[in-house]
Structure formats: C-alpha cells, structure tokens
Amino acid sequence: MQLKSVQLEGLAYAFCASIEDPSETMINVDDTIVTREELACLAPGRPISDKIIKLVVMKASWDQANKTF
C-alpha cells in the first residue's frame, strides 16, 4: 500500500503508542464519537467496532445522497 505523507502523519498521530490519553476524541460526527482507543480496532487482526461500521455507512449514505450525475 502506498500512502501519501499526509496520510502517514494522520495514522502516526492516531495510533501513536506514546499518547497518554486513549480516550481522546478523534472523530465526532452527529451523535457518533470515536476515541483513539476505539480506532485501534482498525489494526490488522482486530474485529471492527460497531461505531466504525456506523461511520462507514454514514459516509456511503452521504456519498450516495450527494452524487451528481
């Protein structure tokens, strides 16, 4: 996988092991708040949390609603 430097910086910040507060809010969309600890489910081998699945569904719904043909 080839990531751009801005993507690498974002991932390094989100998954940095030296961050002391795993409860820091990383995503806040509508009524869905995801913490740094909850984002850890995106690491390989871990089950994806319901909140992350909800965010993906929200994004897909938004994309469909705002698609121009």
Q: Is the pTM of this model over 0.85?
A: no
Q: Quote the pLDDT of residue 51.
A: 92
For residue 46, give the nearest of 54, 37, 55 by alpha carbon.
37
- All structural domains of the chain with their residue ranges: 5-65
| Integer CA distances (angstroms), 56 to 17, 59, 67, in order | 25, 5, 16
Residue 69: which pLDDT band, with cuts at 50, 70 and 90? Answer: low
Pairwise pLDDT comparison (3 vs 47), residue with the higher score: 47
- The model's pLDDT over 12-61, given as tens digits with 9 standing for 90+, comes to 887 776 777 888 888 899 889 999 888 888 888 999 999 999 999 999 99
